[in-house]
């Protein structure tokens, strides 16, 4: 039987209670609803966390491991740091004897598909899991039916399956609504679609060899690589636009 995750050591000399990977998942999903068991296994394979193993091979995590995972996930979500940078920071802490600050988030129930009760679809970080009707997309994004039709014609928004839209469609529609307030027209957005298609082609070449492998770890690495490439691309694009606007802004 697993030791209860709700108790923590009250003295420095007492051993930490250990948690199963499922208990750790419940802890982390309070703040990271998209985290999965595959993700935790991937971070272990990358050497970012080293849970103990029972004689039967089951993973057992302490609170220091949870704090470490929390730091990694926060660095990825909020700072878009690539794993190599996160690994270097953790290595520096290990060498200095320091560690990420421990924290004890409240336990929450996790559904059979990993959902966290009480969180709306728009709050999930997994855009592909969001499912919106056409009317819901229009009402939640701020665009009208005419604009949505134009975005679909340009290939900026796609319904899949027909008549239903995911979280990325909502993000795109909201961004277009914001840009429209500054006078942007749909025709101005063709360049975004073209640039995105070029990046998709480049990134697909990098992750395709991993996707073709049957090893689940390779597929997890492919998903993580794609996530990092997207984050780095966003940083590069934003920096280039800022640099380009400096002369206009007189800076």
What's 167's domain CATH number?
1.10.1660
Is residue 138 domain-shared with residue 163, that is, in the same domain? yes
Q: Which of 157, 184, 211 is the last residue of a domain?
A: 184
Is residue 57 domain-shared with residue 105, that is, in the same domain? yes
User: Is pLDDT above 50 for 170?
Assistant: yes
Is residue 139 domain-shared with residue 160, that is, in the same domain? yes
Nearest to 60 by CA among 28, 21, 105, 25: 21
Is residue 32 domain-shared with residue 108, that is, in the same domain? yes
pLDDT band at 119 (very low <50, low <70, confident <90, very high): very low
Of the segments 9-13, 113-117, 247-251, which one has the largest average pLDDT value? 247-251
User: Is pLDDT above 80 for 162?
Assistant: no
Characterize the bridge pairing of strands 164-165 and 132-133.
antiparallel
Q: Which of 156, 184, 212 is the last residue of a domain?
A: 184
Is residue 110 domain-shared with residue 133, that is, in the same domain? no
Q: Which of 132, 155, 184 is the last residue of a domain?
A: 184
Is residue 130 domain-shared with residue 102, that is, in the same domain? no
Output the pLDDT for position 38: 84
The tens digit of pLDDT for each residue in 16-34 reads: 578 999 899 988 988 888 8
CA–CA separation, 242 vs 59, rounded Å? 46
- What average pLDDT does the structure give for the chain? 79
Output the pLDDT for position 66: 92
- CB proximity list for 173: less than 8 A, separation 6 or greater: 137, 138, 141, 142, 143, 148, 151, 157
Is residue 114 domain-shared with residue 157, that is, in the same domain? no
Output the pLDDT for position 98: 66
Is residue 4 domain-shared with residue 83, that is, in the same domain? yes
Is residue 208 domain-shared with residue 235, that is, in the same domain? yes
Using a cut of 0.75, tell me whether the model's pTM lies above it.
no
The domain tally of the chain equals: 3
User: Is pLDDT above 70 for 41?
Assistant: yes
The answer to which of 11-20, 80-89, 228-237 has the lowest mean pLDDT is 11-20
Is residue 97 domain-shared with residue 9, that is, in the same domain? yes
Q: Which domain holds residue 216?
A: 192-251
């Amino acid at each position: 039987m697993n030791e209860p995750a709700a108790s923590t050591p009250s003295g420095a000399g007492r051993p930490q209670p250990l948690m199963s990977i499922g208990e750790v998942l419940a802890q982390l999903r309070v703040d990271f609803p998209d985290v999965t068991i595959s993700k935790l296994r991937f971070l272990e394979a990358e050497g970012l966390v080293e849970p103990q193993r029972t004689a039967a091979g089951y993973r057992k995590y302490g609170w220091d491991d949870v704090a470490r995972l929390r730091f990694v996930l926060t660095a990825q979500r909020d700072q878009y740091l690539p794993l190599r940078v996160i690994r270097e920071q953790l290595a520096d802490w290990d060498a200095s004897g320091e560690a990420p600050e421990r924290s004890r988030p409240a336990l929450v129930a996790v559904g059979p598909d990993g959902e966290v009760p009480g969180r709306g679809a728009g709050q999930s970080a997994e855009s592909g899991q969001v499912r919106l009707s056409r009317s819901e997309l229009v009402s939640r994004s701020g665009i009208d039916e005419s604009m949505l039709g134009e975005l679909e014609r340009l290939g900026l928004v796609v319904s899949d399956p027909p008549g239903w839209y995911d979280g990325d469609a909502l993000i795109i529609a909201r961004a277009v609504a914001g840009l429209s307030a500054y006078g942007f027209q749909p025709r101005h957005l063709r360049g975004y679609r073209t640039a995105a298609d070029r990046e998709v082609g480049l990134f697909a070449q990098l992750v395709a060899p991993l996707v073709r492998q049957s090893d689940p770890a390779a597929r997890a690495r492919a998903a993580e690589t794609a996530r990092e490439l997207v984050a780095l691309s966003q940083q590069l694009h934003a920096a280039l636009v800022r640099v380009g606007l400096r002369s206009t802004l007189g800076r």
